[in-house]
Amino acid sequence: MSTVNADFLATVQENANVIALTTVVAIFVSAFLWASCKGSNGSKKSAGGKKPAQSKKPAEMTLEAQIENVRLRYVNEFQTRIASLKKHFDGRDEKNVYERNYCNEMLLKLMIQLDGIDLVDVEQPRKGELKLKRKEVIRLIQGELKVLDELS
């Protein structure tokens, strides 16, 4: 019986040693992870004196650039598509009808973007110039919407 007790006590002691070692390793790993996470959030400066990386925000577009962006989207994405559609439109072809409806919807989206350009706080004479530019693009898009509506 005494050898069984001695073997049992030796096994218990081994298990206790393994548990203690595992606990120590877990504490070191946790401390390392905590320190590396704390250092990576930008709260401490690095030894090299580098500034922490900042999130890059897109530069805000000027009102002129917003209007020009809508005009360029019309010219680059829809002008040739609509011209091609005018030449080859067949109301019985589902693809043509889909393309007409798609272009119509996208042009309406561009109109909504133009409508969202706020000129309330802009002073004259710049306000007048912006209104004219916006009106030109609106008329351009409205003309194409009229053409699309006439296709049947």
Cα torsion 65, 66, 69, 75: sign: negative
Q: Which two tokens stand for residue 107?
A: 């042009």
Amino acid at 57: K
Q: How far apart are CA 125 and CA 115, in angstroms?
A: 20
Q: How many domains does the chain have?
A: 2
pLDDT tens-digit profile of 49-98?
A: 566 566 677 778 899 999 999 999 999 999 999 999 999 998 899 999 99
- 132 and 89 together in one domain: yes
- 68 and 109 together in one domain: yes
Q: At what angle do helices 94-115 and 80-88 cross, to 10 degrees?
A: 150
- 72 and 144 together in one domain: yes
Does residue 56 lie within any of the structural domains?
Answer: no
Instruction: Look up the domain containing 2 and give its range.
Output: 1-40
Does residue 54 lie within any of the structural domains?
Answer: no
- 68 and 32 together in one domain: no
- 137 and 86 together in one domain: yes
pLDDT tens-digit profile of 137-151?
A: 999 999 999 999 998
Cα torsion 90, 93, 95, 99: sign: positive
CB 111 within 8 A of CB 45: no
pTM: 0.59
- 33 and 106 together in one domain: no
CATH code, 98: 1.20.58.120
To which residue do tokens 């890059």 refer?
Answer: 56
